[in-house]
Structure 1
Amino acid sequence: MKSINMKVNPLYSDVDLSIVFQFEFEQFGNKIGEAFVSTYSTAGHPVQIRKGKHGSFTKTDKTAVIDQFEVVGGVEKNCMKKLKHFLGVIGISNVHSGYTLRSRFGE
Protein backbone atom coordinates (compact mmCIF):
# COMPACT_ATOMS: atom_id res chain seq x y z
CA MET A 1 0.00 0.00 0.00
CA LYS A 2 2.92 2.34 0.61
CA SER A 3 3.93 2.07 -3.05
CA ILE A 4 0.63 3.73 -4.07
CA ASN A 5 0.59 7.53 -4.14
CA MET A 6 -2.65 9.47 -4.09
CA LYS A 7 -3.14 13.04 -5.30
CA VAL A 8 -6.25 14.92 -4.21
CA ASN A 9 -7.71 17.77 -6.26
CA PRO A 10 -10.71 19.52 -4.63
CA LEU A 11 -13.26 21.11 -6.97
CA TYR A 12 -16.41 23.11 -6.19
CA SER A 13 -19.63 22.27 -8.04
CA ASP A 14 -22.00 25.20 -8.55
CA VAL A 15 -24.65 22.84 -9.87
CA ASP A 16 -25.36 20.96 -6.64
CA LEU A 17 -23.36 23.14 -4.20
CA SER A 18 -20.97 20.38 -3.26
CA ILE A 19 -17.25 19.83 -3.06
CA VAL A 20 -16.01 17.17 -5.47
CA PHE A 21 -12.66 15.52 -4.88
CA GLN A 22 -10.73 14.08 -7.79
CA PHE A 23 -8.30 11.39 -6.65
CA GLU A 24 -5.43 10.23 -8.85
CA PHE A 25 -3.61 7.04 -7.94
CA GLU A 26 -0.03 6.36 -8.99
CA GLN A 27 2.27 3.41 -8.49
CA PHE A 28 5.97 3.56 -9.35
CA GLY A 29 5.41 6.86 -11.19
CA ASN A 30 2.61 5.53 -13.42
CA LYS A 31 -1.03 6.57 -13.18
CA ILE A 32 -3.07 3.48 -12.29
CA GLY A 33 -6.48 5.04 -11.74
CA GLU A 34 -8.73 7.80 -10.56
CA ALA A 35 -11.85 8.41 -8.56
CA PHE A 36 -14.40 11.21 -8.18
CA VAL A 37 -16.14 11.74 -4.83
CA SER A 38 -18.90 14.27 -4.11
CA THR A 39 -19.41 15.51 -0.56
CA TYR A 40 -22.60 16.96 0.89
CA SER A 41 -23.80 18.32 4.20
CA THR A 42 -26.29 15.89 5.66
CA ALA A 43 -29.71 17.37 6.29
CA GLY A 44 -30.61 17.41 9.92
CA HIS A 45 -29.55 19.13 13.06
CA PRO A 46 -25.99 20.32 13.55
CA VAL A 47 -24.26 18.71 16.51
CA GLN A 48 -22.75 21.04 19.11
CA ILE A 49 -19.18 19.97 19.74
CA ARG A 50 -17.68 22.71 21.88
CA LYS A 51 -18.70 25.68 23.96
CA GLY A 52 -16.03 28.25 24.62
CA LYS A 53 -15.86 31.78 25.97
CA HIS A 54 -16.10 33.13 22.40
CA GLY A 55 -19.21 31.15 21.51
CA SER A 56 -20.34 27.71 20.48
CA PHE A 57 -18.87 25.77 17.62
CA THR A 58 -21.00 23.37 15.64
CA LYS A 59 -20.24 20.49 13.40
CA THR A 60 -22.47 19.43 10.53
CA ASP A 61 -22.53 15.78 9.49
CA LYS A 62 -21.21 15.22 5.99
CA THR A 63 -21.75 12.41 3.51
CA ALA A 64 -19.56 11.33 0.60
CA VAL A 65 -20.73 9.60 -2.57
CA ILE A 66 -18.14 7.83 -4.71
CA ASP A 67 -19.30 8.73 -8.22
CA GLN A 68 -16.51 7.03 -10.14
CA PHE A 69 -13.72 4.64 -9.17
CA GLU A 70 -11.51 3.07 -11.81
CA VAL A 71 -8.17 1.43 -11.00
CA VAL A 72 -5.94 -1.03 -12.90
CA GLY A 73 -3.43 -3.57 -11.69
CA GLY A 74 -5.36 -5.41 -8.98
CA VAL A 75 -4.82 -2.76 -6.29
CA GLU A 76 -8.43 -1.59 -6.05
CA LYS A 77 -8.78 -2.49 -2.36
CA ASN A 78 -5.63 -0.60 -1.38
CA CYS A 79 -6.67 2.48 -3.35
CA MET A 80 -10.15 2.39 -1.81
CA LYS A 81 -8.59 2.08 1.65
CA LYS A 82 -6.46 5.19 1.02
CA LEU A 83 -9.47 7.10 -0.30
CA LYS A 84 -11.63 6.22 2.72
CA HIS A 85 -8.77 7.05 5.09
CA PHE A 86 -8.54 10.54 3.55
CA LEU A 87 -12.29 11.04 3.91
CA GLY A 88 -12.08 9.96 7.55
CA VAL A 89 -9.27 12.45 8.20
CA ILE A 90 -11.42 15.32 6.91
CA GLY A 91 -14.32 14.16 9.08
CA ILE A 92 -16.46 12.18 6.65
CA SER A 93 -17.29 8.68 7.84
CA ASN A 94 -20.59 8.23 6.01
CA VAL A 95 -19.51 6.98 2.55
CA HIS A 96 -21.81 5.62 -0.16
CA SER A 97 -20.87 4.04 -3.47
CA GLY A 98 -22.66 5.37 -6.52
CA TYR A 99 -20.35 3.55 -8.92
CA THR A 100 -19.61 0.18 -10.39
CA LEU A 101 -16.09 -1.00 -9.65
CA ARG A 102 -14.30 -1.27 -12.97
CA SER A 103 -10.90 -2.50 -13.89
CA ARG A 104 -9.47 -1.78 -17.32
CA PHE A 105 -7.98 -5.23 -17.68
CA GLY A 106 -10.79 -7.26 -16.11
CA GLU A 107 -8.92 -7.93 -12.87
Structure 2
Amino acid sequence: MDINMKVQPSFFDEECAIVFSFYFDQEAKKIGEAVIYTCEEQDCLKKDCQADSRELKEKVAYVEQFSIVKEYQSASMEKITQFLNILGIKKCRQRNIEEVLN
Protein backbone atom coordinates (compact mmCIF):
# COMPACT_ATOMS: atom_id res chain seq x y z
CA MET A 1 0.00 0.00 0.00
CA ASP A 2 1.68 3.18 -1.20
CA ILE A 3 0.66 6.25 0.77
CA ASN A 4 2.31 9.67 0.94
CA MET A 5 3.16 11.32 4.23
CA LYS A 6 3.84 15.01 4.80
CA VAL A 7 5.20 16.23 8.13
CA GLN A 8 4.82 19.71 9.61
CA PRO A 9 6.83 20.28 12.82
CA SER A 10 6.08 22.94 15.45
CA PHE A 11 8.25 23.80 18.46
CA PHE A 12 6.82 24.82 21.83
CA ASP A 13 9.65 26.59 23.64
CA GLU A 14 8.02 26.86 27.08
CA GLU A 15 7.35 23.11 27.18
CA CYS A 16 10.53 22.12 25.33
CA ALA A 17 8.38 19.97 23.06
CA ILE A 18 8.04 19.36 19.34
CA VAL A 19 4.64 18.60 17.84
CA PHE A 20 4.52 16.84 14.49
CA SER A 21 1.44 17.08 12.31
CA PHE A 22 1.30 14.22 9.81
CA TYR A 23 -0.85 14.40 6.68
CA PHE A 24 -1.53 11.28 4.61
CA ASP A 25 -2.83 10.92 1.08
CA GLN A 26 -2.94 8.37 -1.69
CA GLU A 27 -3.17 9.39 -5.33
CA ALA A 28 -4.04 13.00 -4.33
CA LYS A 29 -6.90 11.76 -2.11
CA LYS A 30 -6.68 12.72 1.58
CA ILE A 31 -6.85 9.67 3.84
CA GLY A 32 -6.22 11.28 7.21
CA GLU A 33 -3.97 13.05 9.65
CA ALA A 34 -2.27 12.53 12.98
CA VAL A 35 -0.74 14.81 15.60
CA ILE A 36 2.17 13.51 17.67
CA TYR A 37 3.53 15.41 20.69
CA THR A 38 7.18 14.67 21.55
CA CYS A 39 9.13 15.56 24.68
CA GLU A 40 11.78 14.19 27.02
CA GLU A 41 10.71 11.86 29.79
CA GLN A 42 12.97 11.92 32.82
CA ASP A 43 13.47 8.41 34.02
CA CYS A 44 16.31 6.64 35.68
CA LEU A 45 16.83 3.71 33.36
CA LYS A 46 18.66 1.59 35.92
CA LYS A 47 16.65 -0.60 38.26
CA ASP A 48 18.75 0.29 41.31
CA CYS A 49 19.04 4.04 40.83
CA GLN A 50 21.18 5.85 43.38
CA ALA A 51 20.65 9.45 44.40
CA ASP A 52 23.98 10.59 42.96
CA SER A 53 23.51 8.93 39.56
CA ARG A 54 22.61 11.05 36.55
CA GLU A 55 19.04 11.04 35.38
CA LEU A 56 18.75 9.98 31.78
CA LYS A 57 16.24 11.69 29.56
CA GLU A 58 14.38 9.55 27.09
CA LYS A 59 12.42 10.95 24.17
CA VAL A 60 8.77 9.93 24.18
CA ALA A 61 5.95 10.55 21.72
CA TYR A 62 2.26 10.90 22.58
CA VAL A 63 -0.51 10.43 20.03
CA GLU A 64 -2.75 13.47 20.43
CA GLN A 65 -4.89 12.87 17.34
CA PHE A 66 -5.17 9.93 14.94
CA SER A 67 -7.90 10.46 12.32
CA ILE A 68 -7.12 8.10 9.46
CA VAL A 69 -9.37 5.98 7.25
CA LYS A 70 -9.49 2.51 8.86
CA GLU A 71 -7.91 0.57 5.99
CA TYR A 72 -4.86 2.89 6.05
CA GLN A 73 -4.33 3.11 9.82
CA SER A 74 -1.74 0.34 10.07
CA ALA A 75 0.37 1.59 7.14
CA SER A 76 0.14 5.18 8.41
CA MET A 77 1.22 4.22 11.93
CA GLU A 78 4.12 2.24 10.47
CA LYS A 79 5.30 5.36 8.59
CA ILE A 80 5.00 7.46 11.76
CA THR A 81 6.97 4.83 13.70
CA GLN A 82 9.76 4.81 11.12
CA PHE A 83 9.94 8.61 11.24
CA LEU A 84 10.10 8.65 15.06
CA ASN A 85 12.76 5.92 15.11
CA ILE A 86 14.97 8.04 12.85
CA LEU A 87 14.68 10.79 15.48
CA GLY A 88 15.64 8.33 18.23
CA ILE A 89 12.15 8.08 19.71
CA LYS A 90 11.39 4.47 20.62
CA LYS A 91 8.26 4.94 22.77
CA CYS A 92 4.93 6.16 21.50
CA ARG A 93 1.86 6.30 23.73
CA GLN A 94 -1.72 7.36 23.38
CA ARG A 95 -2.84 10.38 25.34
CA ASN A 96 -4.24 8.12 28.07
CA ILE A 97 -0.69 6.71 28.51
CA GLU A 98 -1.56 3.35 26.98
CA GLU A 99 1.47 2.17 25.00
CA VAL A 100 0.87 1.78 21.26
CA LEU A 101 4.40 1.19 19.98
CA ASN A 102 7.39 -0.64 21.42
> Could you say which TM-score interval applies, normalised by the shorter chain?
0.7 to 0.9
Distance 1:80 1:43, change over 3 A: same
Number of residue pairs aligned between Structure 1 and Structure 2: 86
Query: 1:1-107 counterparts in 2 under 5 A?
Result: 1=1, 3-14=2-13, 16-44=15-43, 60-72=57-69, 74-98=71-95
CA offset digits 1:7-44 (Å, max 9, x no partner): 01110124533100000001111111000000011114
Judging by fraction of residues, say which structure has more helix.
Answer: 2
Shifted more, 76-85 versus 7-16: the winner is 7-16
TM-score scaled by structure 1?
0.71
TM-score scaled by structure 2?
0.74
Unaligned runs of at least 5 residues, structure 2 = 46-55, 97-102
